[in-house]
Amino acid sequence: MTTTSPALLRARVVEWFAREARPLPWRAPDRTPWGVLVSEVMSQQTPVARVEPSWHAWLERWPTPADLATAEAADVLRMWGTLGYPRRALRLQDCARAIVERHGGEVPSSYEDLLALPGIGPYTAGAVLAFAFGRRAVVLDTNVRRVLARAVAGTALPHPHQSAAEVRLAESVLPDDDASAAAWSAASMELGALVCTARAPRCGECPVADLCTWRLAGSPPDEHAGRRRTQAWHGTDRQCRGRVMAVLREASSPVPRSDLAPLWPDAAQLDRCIASLLEDHLAEESPEGLHLPT
């Protein structure tokens, strides 16, 4: 593990962030805690470039948790569009309802209260605490994990599954005061997204390349390469479900199953995917056909 001063590492990365940070709307001075929370849920497994236009549209329509809490589920799923993993949209609505019921419509500012909201896990709770309220919190997404793995632990990539040791490492690097900790969390995440990328790190542009334990060790290969799974898309249930959802979002009336048959060559797989959409409450079925939940 590196003997580099964490303070020097943080100072370099935060200084770089001040120059190079993308002007994302959920970082703007007029951001709201609700806007930050929505951005974090939308950004799970979805690139920022796809999230930004959807985020603007979502906040224009439902600028507060109370607005989303009373929306029709069908409208929520239509607005979610092609962001993927549409269950996130319904979980976000459940979260909005809980905020209204438990916190008077205001996003809570404690880690425990955030973590208790539907669909909010440790990462999202920490991210909202740091980026919405400027508080000290461990924020470990894939980008931050990668920066810490290389710069501090000296490995090419973090373990496929987050460990308690990683959380302890992140805690040890995190500044003690709120403002500095929030700045480090945002800066290290951006460094991982833009420079310290997974497949082709741009080490020549990295503000801490000379401090990076992984580079100083000769950039050894990924010791966990054999354990990593690449997510397929073509021919998967996820792709099939996406096609069905696209039709239901566009439909103004129930869609008979016979009209869905041409969507997918494997009838058994299509039936299985429709059943899973019904089970996940992303669709409903009436005698006339399938439709978005009412």
Q: Which of 15, 20, 40, 60 is catalytic?
A: 40
CA 77 from centroid of its chain's CA atoms: 18
Residue 40: active-site member: yes
Residue with tokens 């994990």: 145
Both tokens of 198, joined, read 């997974």
Q: Residue 34: which residues within 8 A CB-CB, separation 6 or more? A: 59, 63, 64, 65, 107
**Phi and psi for 275 in degrees, rounded to 5?**
-60, -40
Q: What angle do CA 267, 272, 274 make, to 5 degrees?
A: 95
Q: Which residues are bridge partners to 290 per DSSP?
A: 255, 285
DSSP string spanning 6-70?
HHHHHHHHHHHHHHH----GGGSTT--HHHHHHHHHHHTTS-HHHHHHHHHHHHHH--SHHHHHT
Residues identified as active-site: 40
